[in-house]
Structure formats: structure tokens, C-alpha cells
Structure 1
Amino acid sequence: MKYTKLPQSNIQVSKICLGSMTWGQQNTESEGHAQIEYALDQGVNFIDTAEMYSIPSRKETQGSTEKIIGSWFKKTGNRDKVVLATKVAGPNPSMSYIRPKLGFSKEALNEAVNKSLDRLQTDYIDLYQLHWPERNSNFFGQRGYKREKDDAWEDNFHEILVNLDELIKDGKIRKIGLSNETPYGVMRCVEESRKGLPAISTVQNPYSLLNRKDEIGLTEIYHREDIGLLPYSPLGMGTLSGKYLKGTPSNTRLELFPQYKRYSNNKAIEATEKYLQIAEKHGLSLTQMALAFIEKQAFVTSTIIGATTMDQLKENISSIHVDLSEEIINEIEAVQELIPNPAP
């Protein structure tokens, strides 16, 4: 395994982070525990979850993933072997079952943190992330920002960081991060942090061969402000494994939850076919090539992988040992030039 540190900290993390959002629906508790144990045996020490998981989020299973991680901590006593990241949900009218008033007010953050700590059976969270902004913006697959006439949001970045600072001082969280954020939101947090408030360590955004949108405006910020990207959906919800090129296999996420079509449009499939040709030409699996490309990027702190089977998990983790030649990189870049960001 390869390691680095969470930016602006001394917290050492593996370059691969174990994603967990399927635990509680597609995966059982025992399967989640088995994934944790295998990943730790391979040197992975970083696990990411969220209060809204498992996916798709529903009242009956909300918080189930954190509970599975918590039961593993209780069973093994190995909390100290894991760098633990979780996320607090932003406003969403369809998720009022999490809290009546979702968001990042002091009251909401205190309730969210305390409930996560209870489910996780721990007294601290290493990285606490805001799952999506409180304001209307272009995230979750939207290419560009469109102003809404009824947007009544008021700038509250300072207040949010003050609230998070109190949780840090209380010892409940160590570092903070953002998720599904734009250049505007990241830089507003950076500006406020310069007033003596906690600095943003990471941003968890989608990033893959099908979605390199962060390179347009965010990667320069990551570099100049010492912030790390935690890419999620590095395989485009399985599209970049190649398994959907000849239809939809049974018991896959796209068959079980057809609403997740973000990475399945015609241009994304066309690009995937071209990437598969490159991988096969060089004797690689598409999965390993796609993950190795992400892990190679200097602005990436740790790639969040997710798997529903042990075979998938083994292949994903083994990608850390794949080095891509300059020839492969050039061929990948040629596809990106031809079909840029088909699945934002």
C-alpha cells in the first residue's frame, strides 16, 4: 500500500479509501465486516461513510452503514487502526427523516455528530465532511450553475466554520472537509479559514475518466491551498469496469436502482468503449487502468473505492500497484479531448 497524509494534518492515510455506501442494503453486516478486514490486511486504513448511507437513502436504512462500522469497532476493538471519515447531510426536503431541519446550523451539526458517534460506537471522527452545500449550486451531475430566482440563501460560511471549530475543540472531530462542492464554495471556506478558523483538508467530489470536471476550476485550488481531493465514483458507478457495455447484468446497482443513470448516457458508453480498447491493448483490466489513472494525479489524496463482492474489492485495491506508462496516459488524454467529461 502507498500512504500520504491528510492535507494540513499529521494523519497518515492509505492512498486507497474503503467506501461503504452499499453496506446495509446491497451488502450485509457480515459482508461489510469482511470487506473491512480484507482491506486492512492489504494496508488500507481509511474508511469513508455518511449519516445518510446506505444508498439509496431511505428512512428504514438511514444510518445502517455507520452502524455496521460501529459493530465492527465493538467486535474487534480496532478503532485505532482506522482513519474514519463520515459526512453530514445538507438540506434536502426528501430526507426530513434524518432531521426535520437538515443543514449546518449549530443545532443540526451537534445532533448529526452525536448520532453518528453513537452509531459508529466511537468518541471521535477523524474527518467530518459537509455532504453537499446548503445553497443551490451545480452538483450531482449538473454541468453549469443556473441562478434560481427564488434563491434566498445567505452567505453563512463563517458561521459554519465557527460551528465546526467548536466540535473540533470538543474533541468530537479532528479535521473537516467538503463534498460535492464547487470552486466558489471551496474558496469561500478558504477565505474564512484565514480568520483563525479551521482549514478545509479535503474535498470529496466525483472524479473519473468520465468526469474530470474538477480539473477545470478546482485542481488549481487544491494545489495552491493545500487541499486534497477524495474522488468518489472513480469507476462511474461501475461503468468503467466495462460490465454495462453489453447490457445490464443482474443484481448490479444499475439494475437494482435504475435511477442512478449518471454515468450511463451514450457519450459515457462511447468513451468507456474507447478506454476499454486502451486497457486491452496494454494488457490491463479497464478497472485497474481507470483507478491507476486517478491515483496518479498529484492532487488526489486517496481514491474512494466501493465494491459489493470480494473479487471486486481485491481488483480495486490491487490497482495501487499498477503504473501507467506515458503512452497509456497520452492515449487516455486523446479520448478525453475527443469526448470531454461525458458524465459530470
Structure 2
Amino acid sequence: MKQNRLGRTDIMVSEYCLGTMTFGTQTDEADAHGQLDMALDAGINFLDTAEMYPVNPIRAETIGDSEAIIGRWIEKSGRRGDYVLATKHSGEGLKAVRDGAPISKDSIAATVEGSLKRLKTDYIDLYQFHWPNRGSFMFRKNWSFAPWNSGHTLDDIRADMESCLEALQEQVDKGNIRAFGLSNEGAWGTAQWLQLSEAGKGPRVSTMQNEYSMLCRLYDTDLAEMSIYEEVGLIAYSPLATGLLTGKYQGGEIPEGSRMSINDNLGGRVSPRVFAAVEAYLEIARKHDLDPTQMALAWCKTRPFMASVIFGATSQTQLAHIIAGKDLELSADVVAEIDAAHKAHPMPY
């Protein structure tokens, strides 16, 4: 499998990344450990998790379980060095973690140590801030942007970023983390982080983990240009739009055990326009005799700013299906038809 560099680091990762947010809820430990072995055997060397996982649903009593499941696999297999391991520090407002406290210089060291302990490792390859303290355009908030209006000034925001970078640098110096990434960030926020790191305040941003799929192409505007010229590659999450692009929810179907059976609006992605948009992409797959899941993932790989594409599989059966299409390359005609469908069905949620 082709590998890409994470930012300006020497860390190389596969084009596909195994996501683990269902490990401990929809995916039990035995299946999760089987997936970790299967992905490696298929040439996928990149693994993404977070301190808050698993999800569907998020519960205080399961926070950290996904990391712990991975940690027990690392301990059992002895294959820590085979994976590039990424995890995340939760942002402000998630009551199940630190009672919703923001990312800060006071939270970073303990949070890193907690992840290291659960993961049973002495280093994290990529440490990401899960979402910015000031909020973001992600999670459908692009429809109702409002500035951080609780009395914070530009100087406050930059001072907060600077103190966090200094705390991160301490973790880099200790050998606890190798690289720093953002998630659910915007172009302006990323520019601030980059300016501060270039002023010597701490590690440089290497990656951005934002939602990206044929149904969600917000990244194609200013963030795309930032990615290319600043060498901050996108690690795309939800490339299947939480399963919508597989076609399994068309016609009102809700398969037992699926994400929609747990979260009926798929985090705000179910809308009056989304199923017509999905049908347009399914028609392209049928026309070219392509599997829609494999087509959606392969399309993400065509984007010039892509570092890696995170997919999740609730079972080894789903993972095997994705692996079967890992080398799929789309023709120029297919890509052009996908772009035309996007123009006809822009921003369906």
C-alpha cells in the first residue's frame, strides 16, 4: 500500500488508516484484536484512536476503553512498532471527560500519561487535539457560525494556544509524543498554530483530522490550499459518511446493529436531501461496476491534500470487504462524474 509522509516529519503512513471508535461498544475486544492483525497483514500501518472512545454511545463509564483494548493487543502481540499510533485529547465541553474542561497546559501532561498507560506504550506517534476550545465549523456548525463570544479576545486565544504548545513541547522532549496534529479545525485556527510554532513556541502542526467524504467537502476550499502549501496533510474521517455512502440506509432501511439504529439522525447527517445525493453516487458505482464502499474510499485517495483515509469497521467481515478494495484506482471518467454529482447535490447536510 502506498505510504504518505505526515507533514514535515519522517513518519510514513499507509493511505488507509484503521479507526477504532467502535472498539468497546459495537466491536467487542476479540473482534477488535482480529481487526488489528488483519489490517497489518493488509499493509495498513496507521491506527487512530482517542481518549474519549468508544462512541455510539459516549458514556463516562466507557471513556478510554478503545485505547485499553488496543493496549491489551499491543501487550499480547508485541507489535507496537508495526503501527503508527495516533490518539487525541478531547476538547472543551465533553462532560464525560474532565467534566468538560478545555485543553490546557494543565491538562496535557496528565492526559498524555493516561493514554500511554491505557495503550501500554511509552510513546504516541501522533498526538491530536480533538477539537479546538473555541469551537469549530465541524459537527454541522458550518450552518450557524458564531464567534467565540464569551469574552475571549484574540490575545486570549493566542495565549491559550501558546501555553498548550509549550506543554506539548515538554511531552516531545520527554519522548512521549513524536508529532502534533489538529482535528476539527479551520483555516484561521491552523494558521495561528503554525505561526506560533514557527516562532519557536512548540511543535509544528503535521496533520489535520477533519470530516471529508463525497457528501462533505468543506475541506475543498481554504483548508485544501493550506494543506498543500503548509504541508499539513488531511487525515479524513467519516469517508463513508457514517455508512450513508454504502447505500445500506437507502429506501428507509436501518440494518440491525448499524450506526443509524443507535443514532437515528447520524449526527445531523440525515436530511431531506441526503438520500438523493447518495443515490447519485450509487448510480455512478453501478454504471462502472464498482462497489460503492470501495469507490467512496478510493475517491478520497485521489485528493491532492490527503495524508490518509480513516475508516471504521464494526466487524472483521466489514474490514475484509474494505481490504479487498484497498488497491482500487478510479478512472478519470469516474472522478469527473463524482464531481458532477457533487455540483448537483452540494452540501446535503
TM-score over 0.5 for the alignment? yes
1:284 paired residue among 285, 290, 305? 290
Is 1:121 matched with 2:126? no
Q: Deviations over 1:196-242 (max 9, x none)?
A: 23110000000000000011110000001001000000000000100
1:104 and 1:253 map into 2 onto residues whose CA distance is 29
| Corresponding residue SS for 1:321 | coil
5+ unaligned residues in a row in structure 1: which ranges?
none
The aligned runs of 1:121-200 (5 Å cut-off) are: 121-144=120-143, 145-147=145-147, 149-152=149-152, 154-155=156-157, 156-196=160-200, 197-200=202-205
Match of 2:233 in 1: 228
Is 1:321 matched with 2:327? yes
Match of 1:65 in 2: 66
| Corresponding residue SS for 2:30 | helix
| Corresponding residue SS for 2:126 | strand
How many residues are aligned here?
A: 341
The aligned runs of 1:324-335 (5 Å cut-off) are: 324-335=330-341
* Contact 2:138-2:211 at 8 Å conserved across structures: no
- Give 1:307 deviation, angstroms: 0.6
1:93 and 1:298 map into 2 onto residues whose CA distance is 33
* Contact 1:133-1:180 at 8 Å conserved across structures: yes
2:299 and 2:42 map into 1 onto residues whose CA distance is 20
| Corresponding residue SS for 2:236 | coil
- Give 1:150 deviation, angstroms: 3.0
Match of 2:344 in 1: 338
Out of 18-27 and 159-168, give the one that drifted further: 159-168
Change (3 A) 1:338 1:331: same
RMSD: 1.4
* Contact 2:182-2:207 at 8 Å conserved across structures: yes
The aligned runs of 1:192-211 (5 Å cut-off) are: 192-196=196-200, 197-211=202-216
1:291 and 1:100 map into 2 onto residues whose CA distance is 36
5+ unaligned residues in a row in structure 2: which ranges?
none
Change (3 A) 1:138 1:322: same
- Give 1:24 deviation, angstroms: 0.3
- Give 1:317 deviation, angstroms: 2.7
| Corresponding residue SS for 1:21 | coil
Report runs of 4+ in structure 1 exceeding 4 Å deviation. Answer: none
Q: Deviations over 1:284-333 (max 9, x none)?
A: 01111111110111210010010112222122233331111111111111
Q: Deviations over 1:19-75 (max 9, x none)?
A: 000000101111110000000000111100000000022111110000000000010
* Contact 2:17-2:48 at 8 Å conserved across structures: yes
Question: 1 or 2, which has the higher helix percentage?
Answer: 2
1:126 and 1:307 map into 2 onto residues whose CA distance is 22
* Contact 2:227-2:305 at 8 Å conserved across structures: yes
Identity of aligned residues (%): 41
| Corresponding residue SS for 2:268 | coil
Match of 2:20 in 1: 20
1:248 and 1:312 map into 2 onto residues whose CA distance is 17
User: What is the TM-score when the length of structure 2 is the normalising length?
Assistant: 0.94
